Amino acid sequence: MVTLTTDVLVIGGGATGAGVAWDASLRGLDVVLVERHDLAQGTSGRFHGMIHSGGRYAVKDPLAARECIAENRILRRIAADCMEDTGGLFVTTPHDDPAFAERFAQGCAQTGVPCEEITPAQALREEPRLHPGISRAFRVPDANIDVWKTVWALAHGAQQHGARILTYHAVTAILRDGDQVLGARVHDQRGGEDLEIRARVTVNATGAWAGRIAELAGIEGVRVFPGRGIMIAMNHRLVNTVVNRCQMPTDGDIIVPIRTVSVIGTTDHHTDDPDDQTVEQREVDQMLDDGEKLVPGFRQARALRVWTGVRPLFEDAKAADTDTRDVTRAHALLDHEQRDAVNGFVTITGGKLTTFRLMAEQTVDAVCRQLGETRACTTASEPLPGSERREHYRLGERLARKEADLNGEQLICECEMVSRQRLEQVIARTGSTDLDDIRRQLRLGMGPCQGGFCIYRATGVLHARDGLGADQADASLMAFLQERWKGVWPVLHGDQLRQARLDEWIFHGVLDVEHLPR
Amino acid sequence: MSDLAELALLRGSLDHCIKCTICETACPVAAATPLFPGPKYAGPQSERYRVLGEPSVDASVDYCSGCGICSQVCPQGVKIAEINAQARDKLKRQRGVPLRDRIITRPTWLGRVGTPVAPLANLTLRLRPTRVLAQRLLGVHRDAALPRFAGRRFSRWAAARSSPRSARRVVYFHGCGTEYYEPWEGEKVVAILEHNGFEVITPRQDCCGLPLQSSGLFDDARKAVLKLARALAAHLDGEETIIVGNATSCTLMLKREAREILALSEDPTLRLVAERTYDICELLLELHHRGELRTDFRALPETVAYHAPCQQQGHWIGKPALELLELIPELDVREMDARCCGIAGTYGIKAEKYEIGMRVGQELFSQVQASGAATVACDSETCRWQIAHATRREAVHPIDYLYRAYGLGQPGV
């Protein structure tokens, strides 16, 4: 068995784990990160894409609000290229308690969240599809973030500082000798090999799965409540600003414009299984009805797909099992040396994407404490690879790039404007033959037709470039179609149903995918 | 609903696009030039990347001619041409409107200046050095078909006479082409309507704003169309009174385009005008279906090529002119099935687009030449000018044939 040795082993390739890898490698530590799937394929890749201003927590959780606005400002500096400065609005719709607006404004003032009241008329000029009956509107610095781009930038940055990133490597055992954790045994899910990673400190950054990894380490009582929430992506930007209902946080009260779509979220249901990706029909119905309260006509707009994200909520004895939103949203850093007298092991869980950098900072601080070293954190000022120019992403970038070479660049994915050249680059760079992995790098197949027109083209490109067998290429195509279908069918009505019928004719009628050689 | 909300909803029709590509295969411009990336690309696809308040990044949408064929062929109801028109409006506002577009989009102003000095103006506009200069200074292509000023105005003729009183009244919307360039077409329309028992009222009227709209000058276009709508609506006294026009693109503007593209669907006057407006051939064919059209036609033993312009097809009324022409004994009507002549209003006269327009029209021009017809009938004046220019044949409105077949005599040409 191959053995790797490192300073820090990070388990979990979400935003937090990648953030820890980036932070630790900037501090000069040697890092290995393992992730059982692809990067940001779990909770991090399954949220609405919002970077909070803190407004959402200004009344209910002032500490969280303060953390959010501080991190929001930092992320704008260090991850500029991953973010779009959409701004945010909190609006009092006819469905909301009008008295909440004052509490909201006060909460923002007390927590330092910049908040400017504008007239409803002004809000409607900026966002014409908002409910025309809104009575108050507040502008806050919400933004959006492309989480895959961010996590890949963190990983690439860490790699540039020597870190090793091992995706599709699942932990099968935590190595422990007495009260010392020594690392982990992992299984390479693609290569089929097992390897042992010996580390001075092991970081459990597995979010909703943190309890399971802690259990493997023989540590009791790390209980994480998985809180399951659905999000629905609508086919285009119904709004260009993050729009929040000005009320106590509840289901379906945020619409986030992210890339070419707008995402409404979310619900909140307790589940026992962090891998639970159930979508209940009533949740979909509720979400579409909630959308209608912010944007009349929401139900007639085209829903592309739905997905489930599972929040890691660290157990709080005061909370009831049934409503996980009341369990603390704050993150939990468990230094097991202090908590359990087990050395070389740190768990970070809970929290929210907006504060992933802070979580990573505090985690690496704890790692350094355990190592008995003093190393200063620099992630608050060091820009991520690709964000050095500190310019925010703009939605029109892909359109502008295509416009500059209108006839030269062949589009593979028309909806998300992915060129053949970019596709070939990513295939060459990642060496991946998994179209779904490639999707997260390029947004391939994420537009209105959900791969209907691009995936057979991409499969051809993949086959040609990589010398992949037809059977493997076909398998990748089928796996991609299956993955897309999972998110499409629960919202299949109206325009998307017509699309699905056309896609079905393409793949069954023309390509006969059910009988491809594989 | 605010006009912004209305535009956002129109934009929302992009949701219906299932990428089937039918519009791309039907677009005559994309087939003629690589400069236009096609209606699906420029419309529902690119629209997902356009953000209100952010700069326009896709100047290629300006190569859309606005013919509207994409929206007509879309089986899903995506307002493709309308989305493109909005994108052009934004682009124009950002770039600034060229002097040329400010001039050629104002036929009323042009007509008023040119009419009193028609012989001189017509001569000047046909001199090569003038046209070379105009191309250089204004960007109007030196070979493009430009109309001749008639030197008289239709409205003067109309004001000098009175239509016989009748219980059946129509308000006549003659448009700028009839007013300044082809007043005889208006005289024929009036004669045909009166022959069929209508009293014809001709209100004072100016441009409908279509050229402004298609060049992306939306604010000015709104002012123009609302002013026209009020002028016409003032004469809609009875429930039965209707508006009829012979400029098919301008009647389409009143019926639908201004309401959709300019987000004026809630203006009550425009709505009334839209409901009451008929294309002249549409009205006459409807009369015929009700058995009320006089069919005392003489035989016209000749051949005519008929081209239904894109804008006429946008009325969704079929091809009434074709059916009317077929009522005329011995007239051999040849239907041209090429889609577009390439002029698209003022598109084909612009220096950078003239060649594209001529390529777009090539199929039609070939069909016309192969038809053996000496004359082409077509409902839109700018298309007639383009076809006449490209095929060296006479191009007239279909009502010319009805007028002659009714034996209504010679109007003062």
In angstroms, the Cα distances linking A341 to A216, A218, A350 are 16, 12, 22
Residue from the list B17, B48, B53 with its beta carbon closest to the beta carbon of A260: B48
CA atoms within 13 A on the CB side of A403: 17
Quickly state the pLDDT bin for B413 (edges 50, 70, 90).
Answer: very low
Checking phi first, is residue B29 left (phi over 0); if not, alpha (psi -120 to 50) or beta?
alpha
Q: Is the pLDDT of residue A424 over 60?
A: yes
* pLDDT tens profile A437-473: 999 999 999 999 999 999 999 999 999 876 788 888 9
The number of residues making up chain B comes to: 413
Residue B140 has what DSSP assignment? B
Return d(Cα B190, Cα B184) in angstroms, integer: 10
- Closest residue of chain B to A406, computed from CA coordinates: B37
Contacts of B54 in chain A (CB under 8 A): 394-396
Quickly state the pLDDT bin for B43 (edges 50, 70, 90).
Answer: very high
Quickly state the pLDDT bin for B126 (edges 50, 70, 90).
Answer: confident
Return d(Cα B187, Cα A252) in angstroms, integer: 63
* pLDDT tens profile B246-275: 999 999 999 999 999 999 989 999 999 999
- Closest residue of chain A to B75, computed from CA coordinates: A498
Res B304: pLDDT: 98
Domains of chain B: 3-95 (1.10.1060.10), 293-406 (3.40.50)
Q: Is the pLDDT of residue B323 over 90?
A: yes
Q: Please enumerate in sequence order all residues whose Cβ is within 8 A of that of A294, keeping only pairs 6 or more positions apart, or say none.
A: A91, A93, A130, A131, A243, A245, A253, A255
Matching residue, tokens 């709209």: B213
* pLDDT tens profile A244-282: 999 999 999 999 999 999 999 999 888 889 988 889 999
Q: ipTM of this model? A: 0.93
Quickly state the pLDDT bin for B1 (edges 50, 70, 90).
Answer: low
CA angle in degrees (0–180, nearest 5) for B31-B34-B38: 60
B37 and chain A in contact, CB less than 8 A: yes
Res A329: pLDDT: 56
Return d(Cα B316, Cα A494) in angstroms, integer: 25
- Within 10 Å of residue A327's Cβ, how many Cβ atoms? 23
Residue from the list A237, A297, A396 with its beta carbon closest to the beta carbon of B57: A396
Residue from the list A236, A394, A407 with its beta carbon closest to the beta carbon of B15: A236
Return d(Cα A394, Cα A389) in angstroms, integer: 14
Res A481: pLDDT: 94
Res B303: pLDDT: 97
Long-range Cβ contacts of B114-118 (<8 Å, 24+ apart):
B114/B149, B114/B180, B115/B149, B115/B150, B115/B151, B115/B152, B115/B153, B115/B180, B118/B148, B118/B149, B118/B150, B118/B151
Residue A208 has what DSSP assignment? G
Tokens of A57: 């927590």
If contacts are CB pairs under 8 Å, which of residues 15-34 in chain B contact chain A? 15-20, 34
**B108 and B351 in contact (C-beta within 8 Å)?**
no
Over residues A187-207, mean pLDDT: 96
Mean pLDDT, all residues of chain B? 94
If contacts are CB pairs under 8 Å, which of residues 75-104 in chain B contact chain A? 76
Domains of chain A: 82-142+225-318 (3.30.9.10), 397-515 (no CATH)
Tell how far CA A245 is from the center of its chain.
Answer: 22
User: What is the residue-wise DSSP string for B378-409?
Assistant: ES-HHHHHHHHHHH-SEEE-THHHHHHHHT--
CA atoms within 13 A on the CB side of A482: 9
Q: Is the dihedral of CA A336, A342, A343, A345 positive or negative?
A: negative
CA atoms within 13 A on the CB side of A494: 18
* pLDDT tens profile A305-353: 999 999 998 874 333 444 444 445 589 999 999 999 999 999 999 999 9
The dihedrals phi and psi of A151, each to the nearest 5 degrees, come to: -65, -40
Contacts of A399 in chain B (CB under 8 A): 46, 49-50, 57-58
Q: Is the pLDDT of residue B221 over 60?
A: yes
* pLDDT tens profile B141-184: 999 999 999 999 999 999 999 999 999 999 999 999 999 999 99
Picking from A85, A126, A402 by the largest number of B CB atoms within 10 A of its own CB, the best residue to mutate is A402
Res A518: pLDDT: 66
| CB contact (8 A) between residue A495 and residue B76 | yes
- Please give, one letter per residue, the 3-state secondary structure of B81-104: HHHHHHHHHHHHHHHCCCHHHHHH
* pLDDT tens profile A117-151: 999 999 999 999 999 999 999 999 999 999 999 99
Res A423: pLDDT: 95
More confident call, A44 vs B6: A44
Q: Count, in order, helices (H) and strands (E) of chain A.
A: 15, 22
Contacts of B16 in chain A (CB under 8 A): 302, 495, 498
Contacts of A129 in chain B (CB under 8 A): 5, 8-9, 12
Return d(Cα A207, Cα A15) in angstroms, integer: 10
Res A466: pLDDT: 64
Residue from the list B17, B54, B76 with its beta carbon closest to the beta carbon of A394: B54
- Within 10 Å of residue B266's Cβ, how many Cβ atoms? 12
Res B411: pLDDT: 58
The number of residues making up chain A comes to: 518
Contacts of B18 in chain A (CB under 8 A): 448-449, 495, 498-499, 502
**A54 and A66 in contact (C-beta within 8 Å)?**
yes
CA atoms within 13 A on the CB side of B400: 20
How much is the pTM? 0.92
Mean pLDDT, all residues of chain A? 93
Picking from A238, A411, A495, A505 by the largest number of B CB atoms within 10 A of its own CB, the best residue to mutate is A495
* pLDDT tens profile A262-271: 999 999 888 8
Res A225: pLDDT: 87
Matching residue, tokens 């008295």: A99
| CB contact (8 A) between residue B18 and residue A124 | no
Over residues A428-435, mean pLDDT: 89
Matching residue, tokens 């503007």: B253
Res A327: pLDDT: 43
Closest CA to B362 of B340, B347, B377, B380: B340
Contacts of A449 in chain B (CB under 8 A): 18-19
Return d(Cα A137, Cα A105) in angstroms, integer: 10
Picking from B13, B17, B36, B84 by the largest number of A CB atoms within 10 A of its own CB, the best residue to mutate is B17
